[in-house]
Chains A and B, each alone.
Chain A
């Protein structure tokens, strides 16, 4: 397996006296594939993405990107290599969609530079790729939730990175929009982009991912291909709730059973 990004025995806590969020976590992210990270709330998925990005620094252990340590990259080089769509991104001012997506070109411009025609062309191409060219001049606050997520993804496509990190990209979206976004991620992977998504929805993960990582309490419980990771036992154990994994016509589906009532 060609790896694009690796975490090596990473330990992390938010403060010296705070509890350890990630302990001795090692993980290889395969190149050109979609990796889905699943796990209960508060298990450290977002923290792990922030460590991959370089926003948070582990107090022990290291991160390797494309064969080089994080530390050997400048901030600008890293931003040309790794893009992020965070779980919550509020845009406080009424930028038009194209003005906002154009910001994805920042890693290629110094702080005193304005974007040029090439940047604009790349931005228009990203909007087309995401199927939202018709929204270019609309204010970002006046579009729907699904369209807004496509706008965020267009912004990260404009960044032209080899690695995409997406924190819960399909949360709060209806099925049509989930399909649009996950299919777009598949197309990006087909073009060689390494993608990491976190999700609470195993079915979304099955739809989009090639590689699966189940996290529990700040560590990796199990990782690998679909058949190995997405099993009734693994999911029931991690989520502490009855879950069945079923196969219909060769397609794997995760079904949640009702919990037994107590007392």
Chain B
């Protein structure tokens, strides 16, 4: 894709997202489905408060969530040289889930405490995966991190199982289950402020290093010969994006498939070079998550957990991509 064509495409994508954002502000179940007309905002004080205090922060968080999950997914797929990797991969999702569950059970069933606990355990899982990978004495960098991530995820997943088993089935268990299904139903401006610094750092770092990500996806010896400080640069990208993902997961719960499928779609449309595919993936991911969240809150009378919707849409898209992929025969030699 040429630079001009790419720029036009990105501009269109940006405009599309703006339209989705504006439409999303007005759709919902108030005053009656499918939503309100813009004029209602001037006449109805409740509608104004609903939009200002609930829908706006929720939409912005949905957008950031999609951006960060897609950015983290793109970065991880490229530097792990594995297109099946997603942000929850290094134990972050399961760590955050454990943090939320333990907070609901033992610390305090208060949103801020749950978020802090989920972020803390998400980052702890990331740190544990990394530390474990440095202690493994065989295999390359990628294999060691993959093995460590699988092991740490399994440990935290077992921990979540134990907590669910011990939880009060009438009060605590539904709370944990609902958190695990993922959703943005209780997002406030305070939540947005909590995730904003993490998200901004993640977005800025990925954006400015987007071309470098290509280099970091090459073989270690080639990347080294081209002047990359492999461990340092990969860690900077991983820590900033995964920390941002952990912060967002702490308020959204486990939202799967966005970080896996959006980078695929972006590479398919914009080509493999991260210089083009990563900014596009961030916009696509933000738009995708906003639309999924619109559906989550409007499809049924009750809210559908966002995680269920992203999984369902993501899996269908994934199946479509796999089937429609044209396999090209490699002509070696």
Contacts and interface: CB of A to CB of B under 8 A. Distances in A.
Nearest to A106: B226
Contacts of B208: 112
A43 interface: no
B40 interface: no
Nearest to B80: A92
A188 B154 CA distance: 53
B267 A94 contact: yes
A141 B329 CA distance: 9
Contacts, number: 99
A159 B228 CA distance: 13
A238 to B, nearest CB: 26
A13 to B, nearest CB: 15
Interface residues of B, number: 33
Interface string A47-68: 0001001110000000000000
Report the contact-size class of chain A (Cβ under 8 Å from the partner): 35 or more
B333 A174 contact: yes
A68 B81 CA distance: 36
Nearest to B212: A111
Interface stretch (B49-57, B95-103, B268-276, B293-301): B268-276
Nearest to B221: A86
A94 B209 contact: no
A111 B333 contact: no
B333 A172 contact: yes
Contact of B332 (A88, A109, A144, A159): A144
A141 to B, nearest CB: 7
A92 B224 contact: no
A80 B227 CA distance: 8
A250 B159 CA distance: 76
A89 interface: yes
Nearest to B225: A84
A109 B78 CA distance: 20
Contact of B227 (A76, A90, A94, A145): A76
Contacts of A143: 331
B232 to A, nearest CB: 9
Interface string A82-97: 1110101111111110
B134 interface: no
A141 B227 contact: no
Contacts of A92: 81-83, 217
A52 to B, nearest CB: 11
Nearest to B214: A103
B78 A75 contact: no
A78 B228 CA distance: 11
A118 interface: no
A210 interface: no
A74 B285 CA distance: 39
B330 interface: yes
Contact of B328 (A78, A80, A95, A141): A141
Interface string B59-91: 000000000000000000010011100000000
Interface string B284-310: 000000000000000000000000000
A192 interface: no
Main secondary structure of the interface of B (DSSP, over half): loop
A114 B272 contact: no
B222 A53 contact: no
A169 interface: no
Contacts of A109: 211
A109 B224 CA distance: 14
Contact of A142 (B221, B229, B328, B333): B328
B225 A55 contact: yes
A82 B225 contact: yes
A172 B331 CA distance: 12
B221 A55 contact: yes
A160 interface: no
A111 B233 contact: yes
Contacts of A106: 212, 215, 226-228
Interface in B199-232: 208-209, 211-212, 214-215, 217-222, 224-229
B226 A107 contact: yes
Contact of A145 (B214, B229, B332): B332
Contact of B215 (A75, A103, A139): A103
A232 B229 CA distance: 45
B225 A75 contact: no
A21 interface: no
Given A93-B267, A94-B267, A107-B226, A114 B328 contact: no
A247 to B, nearest CB: 31
B12 to A, nearest CB: 22
A99 interface: yes
Nearest to B207: A112
A82 B332 CA distance: 28
Nearest to A82: B225
Interface of A: 50, 53-55, 75-76, 78-80, 82-84, 86, 88-96, 99, 103-104, 106-107, 109, 111-115, 139, 141-146, 159, 165, 172-174
19 contacts: A53-B225, A55-B220, A55-B221, A75-B227, A78-B227, A89-B222, A90-B81, A92-B83, A93-B267, A94-B271, A99-B214, A99-B272, A103-B215, A106-B215, A106-B228, A107-B226, A109-B211, A139-B272, A142-B330
5 tightest Cβ-Cβ pairs between the two chains A and B: A79-B227, A84-B225, A93-B272, A107-B227, A106-B226
Given A142-B328, A172-B332, 19 more contacts: A53-B225, A55-B220, A55-B224, A75-B227, A84-B225, A90-B219, A92-B82, A93-B83, A95-B214, A96-B272, A99-B272, A103-B218, A109-B211, A111-B212, A144-B332, A145-B332, A165-B225, A172-B333, A173-B333
